[in-house]
Structure 1
């Protein structure tokens, strides 16, 4: 076993709210206590903090790639991972050396094991996400990074990442999500996301679906004396288009912040990624106003992310499938955009759908997006690691009058979706959960095709 394997096995003893969320899971005093035990590694390098409902992982990756292209050594913290735990704590284009991960494991585990439970704030047990966040802080310090970029885990105000002191914050589009934890209105959720805004720290805000969200974010920034910038006020012109069969997308946007228009070919695809690219470019220009536009373009161009409209072709054992599309979209609007990208790239070609989602998702409205588009629909659970409600999925798809096949055995349904898509020569879209995408990738890597 390598160091990461040892660390993951050790982590299994701690509460993991990613898998089974509970209502009372938010506090900052524990992560603050842990950071002090390790001489505040979260303050080692200047950093950027990214919150939001959709696109925050992509914006984090894009910003980190631009910084990397500018010659900085960058640490990137995102969640969840698809196939490799190191995806959470990595460089913009790969992983740190095994020695860095091992050094951090040896630094962290004995110290944590020596903690007397009664000394913890409110005597609360440590959680999985707190320890992984601490591990990220320590890894970046051990790697001697120049910059770090942190994606919020859930919410913002009381997320474990919110002990950092960023040079700049970003808030991506906000949707109704995790309502049992963050509130049952867009405005309440916006208030939680706005909790990352720090005193006198600039905040870049993506286009939002309602004016009321913008008001909440603006008022929070004003109370914090934080300069705030709405991306849609700063971008004067923008467009994107797909480049035929090369699985790339040209983006073009203009702003008075730029010395010239930004135009580049991206590997990340879709309308949302074009918006994310514009946001990342604005954020970087607010942070480093003299950075050359060519560096921004090359940074955007090299950004890749597993499970974000990831197109697999010539899949071993299933070469009859023209393309397998893996997309972890799990909110109503993000899935709508995934289908929009699918239609723009593949037109009216036959497509099958493999879908699963977590229990807290708005599957009733999501299922309506799938009407009439998909030739075959397979509905299942997103694996064992995420709480799900298959009965709710079945009810929603039935109400939407969609013909589908459903079963709780996700391994069987994955196999069925691939075999039947191959037999029918259909494209296969896998969406609804990053955990489902992870299970599909594991299936493809382990099956004897």
Structure 2
């Protein structure tokens, strides 16, 4: 365990992040669920969120939900604060105020405050020292930064699970639970019921919880009843319908019966975004007494929302699709969206993934759509090596039909893999980058790539 000399603290964000990595035996990848440590430090800091809070948990759809909430409330004139994780390229992406990522320098005072608080009263006595994980330390930093930024609504994305995630030290005024699927099973449980119970930990007695999973685990419903949360379910308390041109949304009459009709589709692409948007509108309805929102703000917000890496289609030739799909459920949604894009002669995939993912289930759905695989290492100890991914693909009849390998190469970085794909792709082809935030972030590191061999060689 190391501490910082607060008479001469780190002077840059990178130095503070390196310090956070050194606190935990497993560094940045160390995960130690539990609220006792982070609550103790938060109490020492006197950390209180001075505005209504929406907490968002779920397996997939959390980032899209947070982005739509942020866009609508911003269009309604509110100063928004958003915490999401992980980031794609820069750490500062995790903390947005007024729809802009905060400057690195703006985070530094909060790092110093968290360090002082975790060391106890002026650092006196080892008994007062609290060891925080990287995620716990940085969560406290971002919560303090948001609390001091004059925001009028806080939108907080849960990092992992819900019940024992550091974000859950903040009591939400409204909780949103998006789709629940199988992921992080070694930490959260082996089935949807166990995972649902962990997600349901963000609920609070007497507060609204919006569940936008069309078929939620029974554990979520039971937990809401047990603690006396006000449960709003998609398909029961609110619903949506649409055609190819427009869509509409409505609350049940027992909850006021508010309606929106004739709306343009959200700017975020993908068939699953109407489900996410429906949950967003329900959350906005739940907080309407404190945060009134006009119908025009809803329409403008959904029309203008942006979120890199969520079925992001980059203009140019060949077509480039970026998607952080990294578990079977999100990869199935990606495959559905790729199916809906129309015909492309050849699909090239740039793929890198964590070693704990259910690779077989991921490949079963998307494998038939991919003609050539460009596999990449990722800069994390828990990531699969590209060579290991290649062996798995070659052993699968889905990705190596008739024993013929579709692996085009293994590469040290996502950008190297993308360069290799671009070098052989025809203008009419399609390149899909997916498998992890680190895979997509690796190709976005220098901005949205322009797909030509000359540009990518620069």
| Counterpart selection for 1:361 from 336, 357, 360 | 357
The 3 A distance-change label for structure 1 pair 40 and 264 is same
SS in 2 for 1:275: helix
Out of 110, 118, 143, which is 2:126 matched to? Answer: 118
Q: Alignment partner of 2:205: what SS?
A: coil
Pick one of 236, 246, 253 that aligns with 1:233: 236
Q: 1: distance between equivalents of 2:438 and 2:380?
A: 9
Cα deviation per residue 1:103-162 (whole Å; 9 max; x = unaligned)?
434544455465468335xx7621100111101111012212111111111011110011
**Is the 8 Å Cα contact of residues 310 and 325 (structure 1) preserved in structure 2?**
yes
Distance 2:29 2:115 in 1: 24
Distance of aligned partners of 1:195 and 1:408 in 2 relative to their CA distance in 1, 3 Å threshold: same
Distance in 1 between the 2:65 and 2:12 partners? 29
Counterparts in 2 of 1:356 and 1:12: CA distance versus 1, 3 Å: same
**Corresponding residue for residue 20 of structure 1:** 29
User: 5+ unaligned residues in a row in structure 1: which ranges?
Assistant: 243-249, 315-320
TM-score of the superposed pair, with normalisation by structure 1: 0.86
Q: Which residue in the other structure is 2:452 paired with?
A: none
* Counterpart Cα distance in 1 of 2:95 and 2:411: 32
Contact 2:211 2:234 in 1 (8 A): yes
TM superposition shift of 1:33: 0.9
Higher mean alpha-carbon deviation, 288-297 vs 194-203, is at: 288-297
Question: How many Å apart are 1:188 and its aligned residue?
Answer: 0.7
* C-alpha separation in 2, matches of 1:297 and 1:226: 29
Retained in 1: the 8 A contact 2:374–2:411?
no
1:333-352 per-residue CA deviation (whole Å, 9 max, x = no partner) reads 21111122222234345321
* Equivalent of residue 424 in structure 2, options 412, 417, 420: 420
Does structure 2 conserve the Cα–Cα contact (< 8 Å) formed by 1:46 and 1:146?
yes
The structure 1 residue matched to 2:376, chosen from 365, 376, 380, is 380
Residues 274 and 259 from structure 1, CA distance in 2 versus in 1: closer, same or farther, beyond 3 angstroms?
Answer: closer
Contact 1:267 1:303 (8 Å CA) reproduced: yes
| 1:46 counterpart residue number | 52
Question: What is the correspondence of 1:129-208 to structure 2 with a 5 Å cutoff?
Answer: 129-208=135-214
- 1:372 is paired with a residue whose SS is helix
> Which residue pairs with 1:405 in the alignment?
408
5+ residue gaps, structure 2: 1-9, 401-405, 450-454
Q: 1:34 aligns with which of 29, 37, 41?
A: 41
2:435 is aligned to 432
Is 1:68 matched up with 2:43?
Answer: no
The question of whether the paired residues in 2 share the 8 Å contact of 1:117 and 1:125 is answered with no
Deviations for 1:155-183, whole angstroms, at most 9, x for unmatched residues?
Answer: 11110011111101011110111111011
TM-score normalised per structure 2? 0.85
SS class of match (1:368): helix
Moved more, 347-356 or 126-135: 347-356
Deviation at 1:91, TM superposition (A): 2.7
Match of 2:331 among 335, 355, 371: 335
| Residue 287 of structure 1, CA deviation | 1.5
2:293 aligned with 1:287, yes or no?
A: no
SS at match of 2:29: coil
Counterpart in the other structure of 2:6: none
CA–CA distance in 1 between the matches of 2:11 and 2:428?
Answer: 41
Distance 1:6 1:302, change over 3 A: farther
Q: Give the Cα separation in 2 of the matches to 1:168 and 1:74.
A: 15
Query: Shift in Å at residue 386 of structure 1?
Result: 4.7
- Distance in 1, matches of 2:20 and 2:313, equals 32
**What is the Cα deviation at residue 380 of structure 1?**
2.6
The answer on whether the counterparts of 1:258 and 1:293 sit within 8 Å (CA) in structure 2 is no
2:226 aligned with 1:223:
yes
Cα distance, 1:420 vs structure 2: 2.2
CA distance in 2, matches of 1:193, 1:227: 16
Figure out how many residues of one structure are paired with residues of the other and give that number: 427
CA contact (8 A) 2:81 2:95 kept: yes
Q: Deviations over 1:296-350 (max 9, x none)?
A: 1212222211111112224xxxxxx332111001121211111222222343453
Give me the whole-angstrom Cα distance separating, in 2, the residues matched to 1:15 and 1:241: 51
Equivalents in 2 of 1:175, 1:115: separation in Å?
43
Alignment root-mean-square deviation, CA: 2.7
Measured in 2, the distance between the counterparts of 1:46 and 1:236 equals 25
Separation of aligned partners in 1, 2:174 and 2:281:
13
The separation in 2 between residues aligned to 1:59 and 1:110, in whole angstroms, is 34
